[in-house]
Structure 1
Amino acid sequence: MSTGTVAKPSAAPKKAGRRKLTWPWILLIVAAGLVLFSLVRVVSGADDLTSVGQISGALQLAVPIAMAGLGGLWAERAGVVNIGLEGMMVLGTWFGAWAGYQWGPWTGVVVGILGGALGGLLHAIITVTFNVNHIVSGVAINILAVGFTQYLSNFTFDKAEGGSSKQSPRIDPITDITIPGLSDWLMDLQQKHWFLISDIAGILGGLVTNLSLLTIVAALLIPATWWILWRTAFGLRLRSCGENPVAAESLGVNVYKYKYIAVVVSGGLAGLGGAFLAIVSTGIYQEGQTGGRGYIGLAAMIFGNWMPGGMALGASLFGFTDSLKLRGGAENVHALLLLVALLLVIAALWQLYKKKYVVAAVSAGFSVAFFLWYFLTDEVPSQFVDAAPYITTLLVLALSAQRLRMPKADGLPYRKGEGK
């Protein structure tokens, strides 16, 4: 009787995961984006799209959003949803202005950070210690921050010379840096309106002209966050609290401590964004000046897939669209219709390549609609210009939703001792 060999079942083929973007690919995408943007500028004649002033303004508007987004990243990487970023920014604006006009702008920055951290501490006590729903706590902090600062303004700013119940006295500015020779050369090059070369000059010029020292500090916090959270033992423990706090506790991690640290730092970063608004952006505290930037920062963080680099890209995008209405808004936003139409053409071709014909057809249809809108009109309504940052927020979140991966334990209740 012959013995047969039993064939082992073959292993199921593994699904190919998403390829990580390498630096060559990132640089190629950035270069392609610059070429496309330059093409839109030349065709539309909206030469202010990449001017030095436009980029400088966009950077100033992006910093508060980036700080709020960075704050949200710290909290959510530890498993705490921080909807209260807006309220913490409000606290940062008020405390930053209150200390800034009395003792100088840098003192205002420090006190603004402490004001935001105070809001973060309150959020941590409510959510971590008392296990209250994170969304409810965040909304409550947003409401409390507005009422609290209005109450404080009535007997602080209202009694100060040059202030009122709705605004603070003028705050001394923080030193701006301009590299004279390089800045002038880049501005001259940008004003020639050459294809691509002038656009690169405008972008670089915006980064070396009237650059606040606080902007540099804020920009350095983004790579610093990446290094702390992804290259240190402290960061590994903190992120483990957001992925699997029970397993982290079983390995000896004090989950409560790391959650508290993360949420307080989150509030401090949001407070820094608020202090930046009051001290650098306007030089004065005004009631309601955050304008929803805490929520936009949260959207930038989600767009960036809970990573510092992606969050910074999202904040830059929102800051740029927000700056359009400050410099020739109607013309610039009208030019963006052409940019959106071209991006939809590229999206349709990509979906055809992936054999997703329905999505390709929808993209092509929207592309035609935007082309018609651009060529049949000379400008867009002023209401659309004002709403551009918020429309961008919704579109970006809708388009990026399928690739997002939040920390597994983000927003989930946790009780001490579950890992023992």
Structure 2
Amino acid sequence: MTTTAPEPTQSPDGRIARLGRGYLWLLVTVGFLAIVSTVRVFSGAGQLNSVGTLQAALIATCPILLAALGGLWSERSGVVNIGLEGGMILGTWGAAYFTYFYGPWVGLIGAALMGALGGILHAIATVTFGVDHIVSGVAINIIAAGAVSFLAEAYFRDLQGGGIKQLTGLDTPPRIEIPWLGEAASDLAGQGWFFVSDLSAVVGALTNGLSIMVYLVAGLVVLTWWVLWHTAFGLRLRSCGENPQAAETLGVNVYRYKYIGVVMSGVFAGLGGYMLVLVSSSGFVTGQTGGRGYIGLAAMIFGNWRPFGAAGAATMFGYTDAMQLRSNDAVHALLLLVAVLLFVFAILRLRQGDRLNTSLYAIIGVAFLVWFFNSDSVPREFAGMTPYVATLLVLALGTQRLRMPAADGKPYKKGQAG
């Protein structure tokens, strides 16, 4: 007699926990939007979260977020990848070359393949030969910068719109536009109403000619979360970053999973280069990454090695980067926004009984508040400085809440488990 095993059912507690987390994320999003709306109304800085500002912020966020996702794949497998900047540099050339000859969708594949090449080199050095991860990553960055400068001069100088350091006039990926919804939301956003106009600005930014690549990047965040945390493959890959010796005893091919993680990190970095060439700017220029690979690595750490956390951190970087192009009033209002957020963090820390960090957050928040009320304008460079300051604050005051994979960056040789 044969018996059929009952299908695994999801416990009510698990469903409730997930539902609770969903409500928590919704509450955080609504709360943040309310804070921004309050600051906008109080300061009168309409461009603080206008449709144009939000679109610029989303576009600026995507390359950083892709680099952060790349770092997440690599470090969850146990390999530190400082070479994300190099993968992004290679991706810029691949995007420009393949788009020029074959169109933007083939250019997307070309950028991913060029980034993967950087990932393969890093994997060979670190996984196969045991080279120090930091040394290998720095070498990849240097090699990529030199190689792309050579390739640009060799292949772009005689092309229409090309030169020894640039290639312009490239086709771009399509944009998503819902005219009736985008126009209505943009009109409502211009009314300046509390919260309603701010929510409308978000809708207008998403439906008024935004590049399809932004939606693709958002999908990659969800896909990364699902693959790494809800599949057997993801469990095996993460086990290689936590305890590769234990994973080996369970039959996991640790080398294979480390290779997959590092190569995928190169793919994501290459896609970040594609965003820079075809969405963030109007073409290819050598050196246009501007350290965004390193910023993506910081966003990954800031996000506690999790995809949605990295997305939030990258959004902060992208938003402040976009603010550099806004009016001086909006940049000045950023002081008040930072102060309010620091006070919120102080309250959260106080609820957890952490009086030291509560005092530090509150003191720094007061400093920003005094700066806001005693100045009429601030240097525009402050907007670009803000994410770095915020990262230092988080790393300095909140390191006890950050947990990297236990075996991240540690050397591993097959057979150690025995």
Q: TM-score, normalised by structure 1?
A: 0.91
Cα 1:354–1:216 change in 2 (3 A) is closer
Task: Tell me the CA shift for residue 306 of structure 1.
Answer: 1.0
Query: Distance between the aligned counterparts of 1:383 and 1:84, measured in 2?
Result: 27
1:343 corresponds to which of 341, 344, 364: 341
Query: Distance between the aligned counterparts of 1:23 and 1:376, measured in 2?
Result: 40
The SS at the match of 2:413 is coil
- Structure 1, unpaired ranges of 5+: 1-18
Query: Distance between the aligned counterparts of 1:98 and 1:34, measured in 2?
Result: 40
The SS at the match of 1:159 is coil
The percentage of counterpart residues that share the same residue type is 53
Cα 1:38–1:91 change in 2 (3 A) is same
1:366 corresponds to which of 361, 364, 367: 364
Query: Distance between the aligned counterparts of 2:242 and 2:350, measured in 1?
Result: 36
Moved more, 314-323 or 129-138: 314-323
Query: Distance between the aligned counterparts of 2:371 and 2:354, measured in 1?
Result: 26
Letter in 2 for 1:346: V
Task: Tell me the CA shift for residue 172 of structure 1.
Answer: 0.8
| Aligned pairs (5 A) from 1:97-116 | 97-116=96-115
Query: Distance between the aligned counterparts of 2:218 and 2:40, measured in 1?
Result: 28
Letter in 1 for 2:382: F
Task: Tell me the CA shift for residue 155 of structure 1.
Answer: 1.4
| Aligned pairs (5 A) from 1:250-329 | 250-328=249-327
| Aligned pairs (5 A) from 1:14-413 | 22-328=21-327, 330-413=328-411
How many equivalent residue pairs?
401
Q: Residue 46 of structure 1 contacts residue 335 of structure 1 at CA under 8 Å; is this kept in 2?
A: yes
Moved more, 351-360 or 176-185: 351-360
Q: Residue 66 of structure 1 contacts residue 311 of structure 1 at CA under 8 Å; is this kept in 2?
A: yes
Task: Tell me the CA shift for residue 67 of structure 1.
Answer: 0.8
Query: Distance between the aligned counterparts of 1:366 and 1:405, measured in 2?
Result: 25
Q: Which has the larger Rg?
A: 1
Q: Residue 320 of structure 2 contacts residue 384 of structure 2 at CA under 8 Å; is this kept in 1?
A: no
Task: Tell me the CA shift for residue 145 of structure 1.
Answer: 0.6
Letter in 1 for 2:404: M
Task: Tell me the CA shift for residue 376 of structure 1.
Answer: 1.1
Task: Tell me the CA shift for residue 32 of structure 1.
Answer: 1.8
Query: Distance between the aligned counterparts of 1:235 and 1:347, measured in 2?
Result: 32
Q: Residue 85 of structure 1 contacts residue 295 of structure 1 at CA under 8 Å; is this kept in 2?
A: yes
Cα 1:389–1:362 change in 2 (3 A) is closer
The SS at the match of 1:94 is helix
Cα 1:128–1:358 change in 2 (3 A) is closer
Q: What is residue 417 of structure 1 aligned with on the other side?
A: 415
Task: Tell me the CA shift for residue 105 of structure 1.
Answer: 1.1
Q: Residue 303 of structure 1 contacts residue 400 of structure 1 at CA under 8 Å; is this kept in 2?
A: no
Letter in 1 for 2:102: W
Q: Residue 296 of structure 1 contacts residue 393 of structure 1 at CA under 8 Å; is this kept in 2?
A: no
The SS at the match of 2:287 is coil
RMSD: 1.8
Task: Tell me the CA shift for residue 146 of structure 1.
Answer: 0.5
Moved more, 19-28 or 89-98: 19-28
Q: Residue 77 of structure 2 contacts residue 408 of structure 2 at CA under 8 Å; is this kept in 1?
A: yes
Letter in 1 for 2:50: S
Q: TM-score, normalised by structure 2?
A: 0.92
Query: Distance between the aligned counterparts of 2:396 and 2:208, measured in 1?
Result: 35
Query: Distance between the aligned counterparts of 1:215 and 1:131, measured in 2?
Result: 37
Q: Deviations over 1:147-186 (max 9, x none)?
A: 1111111211122222111111321111111110000110
